[in-house]
Structure 1
């Protein structure tokens, strides 16, 4: 897979190293000459250019990229880069970094962003995930398909403690993906029981989240009808 990353700062370089370690081709783009440091990621391609300029993206041959990651520290630049990548070059997948939470609402398909990554939101979700029992915590939003990755730590008094997953009446548009228990990852099957304290990861449509939360932890949500 060929990936272009706009923004060769610490974030962009870290992403590049990870992708290269996983066997992908990476092009790092930055308009600041001081950020062009090939020795930091020697196996990447480097381009001194402004990713908001169409001519720069033509020079980068963006049409041959499978993914574009807009990872600069400027939300406006990330939006413009994503939009150009999607509309002018037909890049199949775009990922936009959100620096300021107030701008998150802009990072949608309308601006060419398939997936937005908000560091403040992720950190908040991870904190909630670590301390919350009986509440759904949204970890990630899939812009395509109107679905979310959510987590719940199953409380002791859940009516489904000890029941096999195949006997749990999961709502429609809800899929149990993984069970985390005692440091182990379990792929659920119909005979796999769920236990108190299990961390359950679901992919679920947004309008089903309350129903799922109410079903698994009714005592924690007595106010829901």
Structure 2
């Protein structure tokens, strides 16, 4: 897949590294000289300029991109970039600062494909949002513990099971359950697991791959490890 990422600060650059490591093509947009040098030193393609300007986004190849991730610390830049990308038919992921909380989330959630708080989720959480799909990091709660939301697929071995029949690894536990398009809550043993249902799981990094295989049906080449919960102190375009 081809990605355009606005912002080469901590969140943007770390997300770009994760995507590139998985074989995706990434172009960054940044206007800070130091961040541009750092990204280019890591052999990333960087377009210098304001990420809220359509000409700059077009120079970065938005016409042929699959996803735009607006990951700067500036909400106005991020929202403008997403609206431009929407006109080019791209999936859009917009970063908002955690301090904006639910009011801002509700304001913008209908305008973009996904809104994220990377200060909580780290680079892998941002990557999950950019890729979309059936698994997302919610929070790191300890050095080796992560909270994930997973969506049951038709390939999941547990599809059709009742909650009482679900057996996760010893170092993983279900925190919440939600039927497709319904609010998350505490599951009962009689709840059935069906395509589109969501499970929020607390798991040790060592068993993430096994949890993913059970609930999503995809054998991960590596677990979602090393999530970095550091904020992005710069990268504002």
TM range (shorter): 0.5 to 0.7
Deviation, structure 1 residue 56? 1.1
Rg larger for: 1
Is the contact made by 1:179 and 1:200 (CA closer than 8 Å) also made in structure 2?
Answer: no
Deviation, structure 1 residue 126? 4.5
Is the contact made by 1:3 and 1:25 (CA closer than 8 Å) also made in structure 2?
Answer: yes
The secondary structure found in structure 1 opposite 2:184 is helix
User: Is 2:129 the counterpart of 1:117?
Assistant: no
**Aligned-partner Cα distance in 1 for 2:173–2:163:** 18
Aligned to 2:54: 54
Deviation, structure 1 residue 86? 0.7
CA change 1:180–1:126 in 2 (3 A) is: farther
**Aligned-partner Cα distance in 1 for 2:119–2:42:** 26
User: Is 2:106 the counterpart of 1:105?
Assistant: yes
Deviation, structure 1 residue 165? 8.1
For normalisation by structure 1, the TM-score amounts to 0.59
Choose from 65, 78, 94 the match for 2:92: 94
Aligned to 1:158: none
The secondary structure found in structure 2 opposite 1:94 is strand
**Aligned-partner Cα distance in 2 for 1:71–1:55:** 18
CA change 1:168–1:69 in 2 (3 A) is: same
User: Is 2:5 the counterpart of 1:5?
Assistant: yes
**Aligned-partner Cα distance in 2 for 1:168–1:180:** 13
User: Is 2:174 the counterpart of 1:199?
Assistant: yes
Aligned to 2:170: 182
Unaligned runs of 5+ in 1: 132-136, 141-148, 151-163, 171-175, 184-196, 218-225
Counting only pairs closer than 5 Å after superposition, residues 66-77 of structure 1 correspond to structure 2 as: 66-77=66-77
Is the contact made by 1:47 and 1:60 (CA closer than 8 Å) also made in structure 2?
Answer: yes
Unaligned runs of 5+ in 2: 123-137, 152-157, 191-237
Q: CA RMSD in A?
A: 3.6
Indicate the structure whose relative CO is greater, using CA pairs within 8 Å and at least 6 residues apart: 2
Is the contact made by 1:70 and 1:78 (CA closer than 8 Å) also made in structure 2?
Answer: yes
The secondary structure found in structure 2 opposite 1:50 is coil
Deviation readout 1:96-138 (Å, 9 max, x if unpaired) = 111144232233232xx2111114565985449x99xxxxx8x
Aligned length: 163
For normalisation by structure 2, the TM-score amounts to 0.56
CA change 1:83–1:10 in 2 (3 A) is: same
